[in-house]
Structure 1
Amino acid sequence: MFDDITDVPGIRVGHDTNLEAGTGCTVVLCDTPAVGGVDVRGGAPATRETDLLDPLCMVDEVHGVLLTGGSAFGLDAASGVVRYLDERGIGYDAGVARVPIVPAAAIFDLPFGSATIRPDSDSGYRACEQADTATGPIEQGTIGGGTGATVGKMLGPDFAMKGGLGSASQELLGGIVVGAIVLVNALGDIIDPQTQHVLAGTQNAAGKNPARSNPFGNTTIAVIATNATLTKAEASKVAQMAHDGMAHVIRPAHTMFDGDTIFTLALGDRTSAIQHDTATAAQTVSIIGAAAANTLARAIVKAVRQAHTLHNIPAASSLR
């Protein structure tokens, strides 16, 4: 196992990175249609197709998820993912066409690098192509959608440090695998859960004159994947519980200036699903949700530890 989300069978990940512009996107593709769920906690989300994941809505399959930079502009990259899947006949069978279902979320990275160059449809398409050829563990840190991510912006962007992209996985009893991938672009600081020390966060402002803080530049977004069989409601519950992982290592989390959003993809075989009683199903969902929170917390820590300095924004690795 690679200790990343591709340890979940049927999950592939691809990146498109623009280091000069300080932005990019990351796609999570499903080899078989997944049951999707979502939970949005932050007060400033930039998202696409989240309503479709509501258990009250009809469509119950997802073919990929896009995590992108570029704020709302970057959501255009999802159309490239849709185009890529459409060319391969992948999508929800609507009779006259197969419609790819690709929820997406974006981080605000416009102040970092270039505010006018953002991920577009071609970026999303290239990320899919990269997912098709990728082998081995996922590259993490300053890559894909995490390229322009920063953390620790309580005093404004001049005192921030590099965030990034991280991924982790965990295998449970019974062969269930839970994986997480995350773009860490938080207003708050990232805390080492073992030592409770700040790994990456607001730089020391002693002797400096911080400008008036501009907090509109945040959001941590993630995908949880599992090979378990879940309903849409159960998948959304796992996403809800996974937010505990953010709160465990990001302080503060879920502010009005963060668009914190978590998707869940469940790739278990629905045709051979064993019908459990309510208590057994609730126990399974709770175990997966708890594992998702722990795995996401580890992925967040990995994101900042593996990031590197870019555009004069220091990374935790440069301060060791």
Structure 2
Amino acid sequence: MQNLITDVRGLLVGQAEDPVAATGVTVAVFERPTIASAAVLGGAPGTRDTALLQPEMTVEHIDAIVLSGGSIWGLGAAEGVMSSLAGQGRGFSIGNFRVPIVPQAILFDLANGGEKPWARGEGETPYRELGARAAAAAASSFSLGTAGAGYGATTANLKGGLGSASARAATGQIVGALVAVNAVGTATIGDGPHFWAAPFERDGEFGGRGWPATIGPADTALRFKGGTGQNTTIALVATDAALTKAQARRLALAAHDGLARALRPAHAPLDGDVVFAAATGHSGAPSDAFALTELCATAADVLARAVARGVHAATALPFPGGKPAWRDRFGG
């Protein structure tokens, strides 16, 4: 167990960044067509092909999930991933063609100091190339913090980032989370180093600071970043259990509790919070509704931990006015 989503058998993660533009792409590539669904609870989402993940839709399986910066321009990353997978013969069979199924969610990182001329109508975006590079780099190990889709991410008070975590549920099955944290609010309590996700931390994975001695009104006062559309936390939870598409949808909904535990606020009108859920099927189906509930609760816990790990591991961008990293403010 690496405490990464790739502890779930059947998926790999690849990433690519553009440091000049201060943006990036993270791709989860499934080793075989995989059941998946999604739940969108933020008020301002940017997505591609999420409608087909609803339980009543025809397509059952996906080939990859893309998390990307770039706002709407970032949706081009899926094209690069599709091209890479098509070259491997992957995809949904339609006549003589195979079409890779690659849903995607994006976050807003345009105002983080990087050079993004395409957002002014000048030149082409880098996202197709970043998507292809990320898919080609898919592996069992990957970087956290200022990496991939979290490269340009921020929160209200600190640099955001790419986080991941995993756990073995009471059923014996593994659940993992992958998240790009670009929240309108905060992952930390007040002005201190303590994370809202502290009760779920394992082995000091995000500093081991626990709760502050007291939590007062100033600590719970809401803090906001930016304006409309400048936010969004996007995530994938995955399990090696075998789930139906409807059960995967339930897993995605339950995992949103992890965002609510780790971020204040979550699911805001100014966020586009999206959680994908995938089931690779290597360990068999949950035995009953209680076993499925164990998976759902574990998904929420690992997503909360992944959020804190993403912020904890981040490094600041080298641009004027950039958000400080947690480690810059509070040490190791």
TM-score, normalisation: structure 2: 0.84
Q: Aligned in 2, Cα 1:175/1:8: closer, same or farther, shift over 3 Å?
A: same
CA distance in 1, matches of 2:252, 2:90: 25
Q: Is the 8 A contact 2:25 2:127 kept in 1?
A: no
Alignment-derived partner of residue 290 in structure 1:
297
- Residue 147 of structure 1, CA deviation: 0.5
- Residue 130 of structure 1, CA deviation: 1.0
Alignment-derived partner of residue 116 in structure 2:
115
CA distance in 1, matches of 2:38, 2:83: 23
CA distance in 2, matches of 1:56, 1:249: 31
Matched, 1:124 2:121: no
- Cα RMSD (Å) of the superposition? 1.9
Alignment-derived partner of residue 207 in structure 1:
none
Q: Is the 8 A contact 2:171 2:294 kept in 1?
A: no
CA distance in 1, matches of 2:18, 2:91: 29
Alignment-derived partner of residue 168 in structure 2:
171
Q: Aligned in 2, Cα 1:176/1:273: closer, same or farther, shift over 3 Å?
A: closer
Alignment of 1:135-284 (within 5 A): 137-152=141-156, 160-191=157-188, 192=195, 193-194=197-198, 195-196=210-211, 214-268=227-281, 280-284=287-291
CA distance in 2, matches of 1:174, 1:239: 18
- Equivalent position amino acid for 1:146 in 2: G
Q: Aligned in 2, Cα 1:23/1:281: closer, same or farther, shift over 3 Å?
A: same
CA deviation map 1:196-218 (0-9, x unaligned): 45xxxxxx9xxxxxxx9534310
SS at match of 1:289: helix
CA deviation map 1:116-143 (0-9, x unaligned): 3554211100001111xx45x3210000
User: Which stretch shifts more, 15-24 or 34-43?
Assistant: 15-24
SS at match of 2:288: helix
CA distance in 2, matches of 1:55, 1:34: 14
CA deviation map 1:5-63 (0-9, x unaligned): 01011110000111221101000000011100100000000000111001111110010
- Residue 146 of structure 1, CA deviation: 0.4
Q: Is the 8 A contact 2:24 2:148 kept in 1?
A: yes
Q: Is the 8 A contact 1:70 1:119 kept in 2?
A: no
- Residue 95 of structure 1, CA deviation: 2.8
SS at match of 1:175: coil
CA distance in 2, matches of 1:283, 1:97: 41
CA distance in 2, matches of 1:96, 1:169: 39
> Gapped runs of 5+ residues in structure 2?
119-124, 189-194, 199-209, 213-218, 220-224
User: Which stretch shifts more, 140-149 or 107-116?
Assistant: 107-116
- Equivalent position amino acid for 1:220 in 2: T
SS at match of 1:187: coil
CA distance in 1, matches of 2:115, 2:186: 24
CA deviation map 1:59-92 (0-9, x unaligned): 1001000000000110101011111111100111
Matched, 1:314 2:327: no
CA distance in 1, matches of 2:126, 2:290: 40
CA distance in 1, matches of 2:295, 2:181: 22
Alignment-derived partner of residue 310 in structure 2:
303
CA deviation map 1:206-262 (0-9, x unaligned): xxxxxx953431000000111101011100100000000000010011111000000
Alignment of 1:78-89 (within 5 A): 78-89=78-89
- Residue 161 of structure 1, CA deviation: 2.0
Q: Is the 8 A contact 2:227 2:270 kept in 1?
A: no
Q: Paired residues, what number?
A: 291
